[in-house]
Structure 1
Amino acid sequence: MSLGELRVLGACPLDCPDTCSWVVTVQDGKAVKMRGNPDHPYTRGALCVKVNRYLEHTQAPDRILHPMRRIGPKGSGRFERISWDEALEEISVRLRGIVDEHGGAAIWPYVGTGTLGYVQGSEGVAGRRFWNVLGASRHFLNICSAAGNTGLSRINGTPGGMDPETFALSKLILLWGTNTLTSGHHLWKFIQDARADGAHVVAIDPIRTRTAEQADEHLPIRPGTDAALALGLMNVVLSEGMEDRDYLENHTNGWENLRAEILRYPPARVAEITGLPEPDIRALGVRLAHTRPTGIRATMGIQRHAGGGTTMRTIAAIPGVTGDWRHPGGGIAYSTSGHIHLNIDTRDDLLAEPVRTLTMTRLADELDESVKCLWVYAANPMSSTADQNRIREKLLREDLFTVVMEQFPTDTVDYADIVLPATMQIEHTDLHAGYGHMYLMWNEPAVEPPGECLSTAETFRRLARHMGLTEPSLYDSDLELAEQLLSSGHPSLTGITVDRLRKEGWVRLNVPQPFVPFTDGFPTPSGRMEFGSEPAYVPSHTASATRGAYPLTLITPASHTFLNTIFANNPELLRRSKGPRILVNPADASRRDLSDGQRARVFNDNGEFEAVVEVSDKVQPGVVASTKGHWRKLSRGGSTANAVVDARDADMGRGAVYHDNLVELSPCTS
């Protein structure tokens, strides 16, 4: 008997600011169609090129559907199917043994951004109650936005900024180090609304991306010198006498220190640092000085270098100097996550004693003999984390008990001892909040999980029960967890309940529209914007280092067809990506006897990877670019760009430095 047709509202879980609302059509228990929700004010009915294939992905033939145990050498990817009882028993015995012999801190729960759910994923730190009971080490998830979050918090008290919808009201839009049409394309509709009303759009980016090609103006800045440009633009604002003196006097601290720093960066000096023509810097500075409101969109790529935190802090000073925070459509938008005030109760009181914190991007350094269990979920560090070759060496340790909860046989799965099958978004309950808009989103499961797949929360509930743990909060249901999240009492959540979210699918935070942050002061101890007295420009490693044998700066931007390493095994999206490629300026290609379509070896002291050369003036001389996200085992040569990326820290927040590495290129000989 036919079950009929259902339309189920859900939300995209992936690491993208747009967190789209979607509608899944279900016929006879099977998901047959997915589309963007046309009723959602930000999604407006559209999904991205990646998520358009999401249903296909959930039904892919390489989906992991059952628990597995390793039967071959680590790295071989050879497993046998086992039952859940067998998996839970083996895991329980191993974890108990590790805790008894080495202490809970010998366990590293390594969670990533594979899902940003507050129930099932990283935003709610899923599983941490369980790990706290065992006394496991803390995991510092710093891979994405840590430097920028810290820099913005130092000046504004929060990483939260503009509501991106208010870009429709901007008259000057600076897309600074962000490729909007690839990474968060829904913002473009609001930019188009602004352009229809006369706004001027400038892309500031080392690469002439698809976004830069659509902008009114593109400034191909030298990587890692953005803070110097910000200082130069503010220098022109001062020379024009257009600083907002009233705003500076009544809403900021430290202006005299910043003013002195700005005066040290006239356009001529900034041109030398950034590689941009002095007239272009001066012209944009004049436009900035006289255009209100100016909205700045700067996302995570801009802060992935040695001076990333300082860069965000200095760019964020601009709307304080110009007074743009007074206006709808003025200010800076990095992430709206600072405006989300859910009650994330990880029950840290369950820890018997303080534990150490292990850092995500330092996996190669910190996965030493003191770590006896690595538990990976919503992450693929073998492909996505820097210093790839050393990570592989550590994952080969026979004394390291590795458990991976996954949907597909990723590079990391190949090194697991036990693999646990994980649900995908249409198969479980979750609560989401976009970091690029002002809406809470509900994801209702549309279909039953295939095979024996379990959600993250259910996996930890079953494991806790199998281990005989008695802490009641370990067994809270998904709906109970969601109700707890909404119980913070913050005014922005007034009127938002689980029942309402399940019925409506999404609800805007209880804030004004248009939303102008900081009208009642900044969330700093003084209530003011804090310019500080630290340096306002910290150059990237590649901007300050002696280049020697490695004269090219490598940046690794997001792919248009993958999201981090998700979808990199989808045959059609893999075909569209054309495999690992590297953009090389014609002058640099000529010096190395490289031609378009040729395979090149990209290398430094860390390692090497192979990529197909694309000779193009989309990058300036001295800069090369290769998109992130490829899997090692699907790439020729068995390495990806992360084989050459350093595991260094940025200046703030221990942020990652994916765009701050020196390499050399040579033709492949075989």
Structure 2
Amino acid sequence: MANEWQHTACILCECNCGIVVQVEDRKLARIRGDKEHPWSQGYTCNKALRLDHYQNNRARLTSPMRRRPDGTFEEIDWDTAIVEIAEGFKHIRDTYGGDKIFYYGGGGQGNHLGGAYSGAFLKALGAKYRSNALAQEKTGEAWVDAQLYGSHTRGEFEHAQVSVFVGKNPWMSQSFPRARVVLNEIAKDPTRSMVVIDPVLTDTAKMADFHLRVQPGTDAWCLAALAAILVQENLCNETFLAEHVHGVEPVRAQLRDVPVAEYAQRCGVDEELLRAAARRIAGADSVAVFEDLGVQQGPNSTLCSYLNKLLWILTGNFAKKGAQHLHSSFAPLFSTVSGKTPVTGAPIIAGLIPANAVPEEILTDHPDRFRAMIVESGNPAHSLADSTACRKAFQSLELMVVVDVAMTETARLAHYVLPAASQFEKPEATFFNFEFPHNGFQLRRPLLSPLPGTLPEPEIWARLVRALQVIDEAELRPLREAAQQSRQAFTEAFLGTVAGNPIMSKLLPYVLYETLGPTLPDGMAGAAAVWGLAQKTALTYPDAVRRAGHADGNALFDAILEGPSGVTFTVHNYEDDFALISHSDHKIALEIPEMLADLKALAATTSQLTTAELPIVLSVGERRAYTANDIFRDPSWRKRDTDGALRVSIEDAQALGLDHGGRARIITAAGSAEATVEINETMLAGHASLPNGFGLDYIGEDGRSVTPGVAPNSLTSTNWRDAYAGTPWHKHVPARIEACRAG
């Protein structure tokens, strides 16, 4: 039916709010929130309503592309592309080793299923190194989490008496269900409070009871002071610490020595305001904390991750309503793989190479350098620090293949570009399943058939694995036959077959796609890997899965197939939080020696990284009402701020002679760019910001190329990075700003 409302989800941030869509002439004609979605419940922000600008834009690819020697591209057929690419990677593997093949991507904010299938091709080649956007943001926090309790936590802000946001503006960046509704509820309730740590007077900060307006880059001193106040004023939950935490005393001893008054001056926050905020946290019935890019992409970011977690651990805000929680995972975003990168020895955290190290692992004569690269649903030539170095590195590769819906900045550097079906033309899902006590998963059905000439990623990877000829058709036949009989027959055959076949056990997504996939509803073959994830989930959390109404993995999988708005896959009790701690004693391990050493060193650490030559702190990648990730290439979706203005303070505008709406040149150690000026009272003197999502070129209807705004990574450097995680300091780039004069 042409006017049928179809269930799907927004693909622009980790919330993946449920939406319903009416499709007309292959256009997403009408979009509204899905009231049946278990988490968003009809809520969306303004950006979801513009999703047709992703689905229908002039940058879509409709044929495999091969680069000619002169750098131009030619269309080739799929069979030719698959054969040549498979042979190219086999050559790399046989000549240098499979570990010289590097994989970047695996899905953005809305498409993770393709990444689930790429692993089969990578394992068949012996590839072992990978990275993605999380290595620009979350690996420092993941490193801390792994040592404290073993996994990721999320705050229950809907019920928290005190919500703490560290370098986070959820009014604009969302990140938890119904964010603006929840923020308004907190602000209107006199029994609840909000603490915001941010140098910018953000929309969220304007709602806060305690805005700790730190000087840019001084969050560590602010957080250390807050934690120290809890200890020095005897505000810790001693019962909780005695029963559920070990390693407390070394931490307590270190915090006793923190000079609170001095650190208040260092971070620029009034000492009494710091003490009032700490006391409010300590006295609350429940506290939830959220850290985000404001600190995760700035100085001392890993230390900040550690310190902000002390706020809820020291006060016992865990395993109770409205507090901080571990949670189930339908498919973990982070692996447990660790180690060092082959060339520079940079730390590999959660299985990911630091994004800032990527060019250095290629641009070298080291024998273990990467020789080939696969990029799937990512645009690292635009999104990683120092775009110039990234482009040079990618151009030096012997083989580079990009899988994407558009001819991105990265795709133009590739030897082959494979056109993927859009996220609304295939079954899709994300693994941002972070809720507790009820956690959920949505398998999205295709709203449209794939654009002619494109293929869903599961089919692309399956064709590439077939071309490697690592599994014989005869090995798959028994599973195909069992899948035709029943789900239970397939389960038994699958477990028996895979257990005795080490090659098949390494290539499970491919095996499922080839055997179970054809038996799934029309257009849903790409969901076959979800069956395997459902089995694993039921084995990992058997009681919680049954509590959610699913007898076993097959029942869970069927519920997922039959639930277009999503299903709850686990229901935990609050006391289950302790069982989810991965340490053998199920206690939080508070002492991390490296972090305590850094905490001690703060007293002698400089908080000023700017210079007389570069006196302004530039934050790049700010989330605004009309910014989104790179998948929105068509700039016409924006109703305002169409040039991605440079926001500067009133004081800096006066000192530098900048005019609102005028032009300014931004100079950093890495490069320079021009931007439109927005004089904004939310900015501190000495602090400026540029938004994310700009600097992408686009061919308009008139055939002319336009590139609105500044590509942020033309101004960033790979040298500015966290000492532990290698994450970039995008929010703390020393810069100089000069007025551009007409003529």
TM-score of the superposed pair, with normalisation by structure 1: 0.88
Q: Map Cα deviations across residues 326-371 of structure 1 (whole Å, 9 max, x no partner).
A: 531123x7xx7x530548999x9xxxxxx99854332221223643
Contact 1:586 1:615 in 2 (8 A): yes
Asked if 1:188 is matched to 2:252, the reply is: no
Post-superposition shift, 1:549? 2.0
SS in 2 for 1:562: coil
Post-superposition shift, 1:47? 2.5
Post-superposition shift, 1:34? 3.1
Asked if 1:212 is matched to 2:205, the reply is: yes
- Name the counterpart of 1:643: 714
Tell me, in whole angstroms, the C-alpha distance in 2 between the residues paired with 1:422 and 1:138.
23
Between 427-436 and 133-142, the greater mean CA deviation after superposition: 427-436
SS in 2 for 1:433: coil
- Name the counterpart of 2:82: 88
Tell me, in whole angstroms, the C-alpha distance in 2 between the residues paired with 1:5 and 1:17.
28
Asked if 1:657 is matched to 2:647, the reply is: no
Asked if 1:139 is matched to 2:130, the reply is: yes
- State the percentage of identical aligned residues: 22
Tell me, in whole angstroms, the C-alpha distance in 1 between the residues paired with 2:411 and 2:654.
40
What RMSD, in angstroms, separates the aligned Cα atoms of the two structures? 3.1
- Name the counterpart of 1:375: 374
Post-superposition shift, 1:321? 1.6
Q: Structure 1 counterpart of 2:532, which letter?
A: Q
- Name the counterpart of 2:474: none
Aligned length: 644
Tell me, in whole angstroms, the C-alpha distance in 2 between the residues paired with 1:11 and 1:638.
28
- Name the counterpart of 1:461: 462
- Name the counterpart of 2:476: none
Tell me, in whole angstroms, the C-alpha distance in 2 between the residues paired with 1:439 and 1:481.
17
SS in 2 for 1:181: helix
Q: Structure 1 counterpart of 2:19, which letter?
A: W
Q: 1:542 to 1:405 in 2, by over 3 A?
A: farther
Contact 2:61 2:407 in 1 (8 A): yes
Asked if 1:52 is matched to 2:49, the reply is: yes
Post-superposition shift, 1:619? 1.8
Asked if 1:524 is matched to 2:592, the reply is: no
Q: Map Cα deviations across residues 463-487 of structure 1 (whole Å, 9 max, x no partner).
A: 2223434265434313331111111
Asked if 1:360 is matched to 2:316, the reply is: no
Tell me, in whole angstroms, the C-alpha distance in 1 between the residues paired with 2:205 and 2:629.
21
Tell me, in whole angstroms, the C-alpha distance in 2 between the residues paired with 1:10 and 1:467.
35
Among 553, 557, 562, which residue is 1:498 paired with? 557
Tell me, in whole angstroms, the C-alpha distance in 2 between the residues paired with 1:42 and 1:26.
24
Among 307, 314, 324, which residue is 2:317 paired with? 324
Q: 1:546 to 1:429 in 2, by over 3 A?
A: closer
Contact 2:355 2:726 in 1 (8 A): no
Tell me, in whole angstroms, the C-alpha distance in 1 between the residues paired with 2:7 and 2:531.
19
SS in 2 for 1:319: helix
- Name the counterpart of 1:352: none
Q: How does 1:481-492 map to 2 (within 5 A)?
A: 481-488=529-536, 489-491=539-541, 492=544
Q: 1:345 to 1:571 in 2, by over 3 A?
A: closer
Q: 1:526 to 1:577 in 2, by over 3 A?
A: farther
Contact 1:252 1:528 in 2 (8 A): yes
SS in 1 for 2:264: helix
Q: 1:32 to 1:593 in 2, by over 3 A?
A: closer
Tell me, in whole angstroms, the C-alpha distance in 1 between the residues paired with 2:580 and 2:470.
46
Q: Highest relative contact order (Cα 8 Å, sep 6+), 1 or 2?
A: 1
Among 512, 518, 523, which residue is 1:476 paired with? 512
Q: Structure 2 counterpart of 1:490, which letter?
A: T
Q: Structure 2 counterpart of 1:43, which letter?
A: S
Among 399, 408, 411, which residue is 1:410 paired with? 408
Q: Structure 2 counterpart of 1:175, which letter?
A: F
- Name the counterpart of 2:569: 509
Tell me, in whole angstroms, the C-alpha distance in 2 between the residues paired with 1:31 and 1:619.
38
Tell me, in whole angstroms, the C-alpha distance in 2 between the residues paired with 1:237 and 1:45.
40
- Name the counterpart of 2:686: 622
Q: Structure 1 counterpart of 2:456, which letter?
A: S
Between 47-56 and 383-392, the greater mean CA deviation after superposition: 47-56
Tell me, in whole angstroms, the C-alpha distance in 2 between the residues paired with 1:135 and 1:448.
34
- Name the counterpart of 1:564: 629
Tell me, in whole angstroms, the C-alpha distance in 2 between the residues paired with 1:25 and 1:550.
51
Q: Map Cα deviations across residues 447-469 of structure 1 (whole Å, 9 max, x no partner).
A: 10112111111111112223434
Q: 1:451 to 1:326 in 2, by over 3 A?
A: closer
Q: 1:646 to 1:627 in 2, by over 3 A?
A: same
Post-superposition shift, 1:593? 2.5
Q: Structure 2 counterpart of 1:484, which letter?
A: G
Q: 1:541 to 1:304 in 2, by over 3 A?
A: farther
Among 411, 415, 418, which residue is 1:420 paired with? 418
Q: How does 1:538-617 map to 2 (within 5 A)?
A: 543-545=607-609, 547-556=611-620, 557-573=622-638, 576-617=640-681
Q: How does 1:233-382 map to 2 (within 5 A)?
A: 233-325=226-318, 327-331=320-324, 339-342=328-331, 358-368=353-363, 370-382=369-381
Tell me, in whole angstroms, the C-alpha distance in 2 between the residues paired with 1:137 and 1:625.
37
Contact 1:108 1:358 in 2 (8 A): no
Tell me, in whole angstroms, the C-alpha distance in 2 between the residues paired with 1:114 and 1:544.
34
Post-superposition shift, 1:215? 3.1
Q: 1:52 to 1:455 in 2, by over 3 A?
A: same
SS in 2 for 1:189: helix
Q: Map Cα deviations across residues 262-281 of structure 1 (whole Å, 9 max, x no partner).
A: 22334311212211122321
Contact 1:584 1:619 in 2 (8 A): yes
Q: In structure 1, list runs of 5 or more residues that go unmatched.
A: 349-354
Post-superposition shift, 1:558? 2.7
SS in 2 for 1:426: coil
Tell me, in whole angstroms, the C-alpha distance in 2 between the residues paired with 1:408 and 1:563.
16
Asked if 1:22 is matched to 2:13, the reply is: no
Q: Structure 2 counterpart of 1:480, which letter?
A: A
Q: How does 1:147-226 map to 2 (within 5 A)?
A: 147-162=140-155, 164=156, 167-184=157-174, 186-198=178-190, 199-226=192-219
Q: 1:392 to 1:667 in 2, by over 3 A?
A: farther
- Name the counterpart of 2:62: 65
SS in 2 for 1:224: coil
Tell me, in whole angstroms, the C-alpha distance in 2 between the residues paired with 1:153 and 1:549.
40
Post-superposition shift, 1:307? 1.7
SS in 1 for 2:282: helix
Q: Map Cα deviations across residues 478-502 of structure 1 (whole Å, 9 max, x no partner).
A: 3331111111112244416221012
Q: 1:241 to 1:106 in 2, by over 3 A?
A: closer
Contact 2:210 2:273 in 1 (8 A): no
SS in 2 for 1:182: helix
Contact 2:198 2:212 in 1 (8 A): yes
- Name the counterpart of 2:386: 387
SS in 2 for 1:486: helix
Q: Structure 2 counterpart of 1:510, which letter?
A: T
Q: Structure 2 counterpart of 1:192, which letter?
A: N
Tell me, in whole angstroms, the C-alpha distance in 1 between the residues paired with 2:732 and 2:433.
25
Asked if 1:127 is matched to 2:126, the reply is: no
Q: In structure 2, list runs of 5 or more residues that go unmatched.
A: 338-344, 472-502, 514-525, 699-705
Post-superposition shift, 1:444? 1.3
Post-superposition shift, 1:29? 7.5
Post-superposition shift, 1:97? 2.8
SS in 1 for 2:681: coil
Contact 2:264 2:274 in 1 (8 A): yes
SS in 2 for 1:553: strand
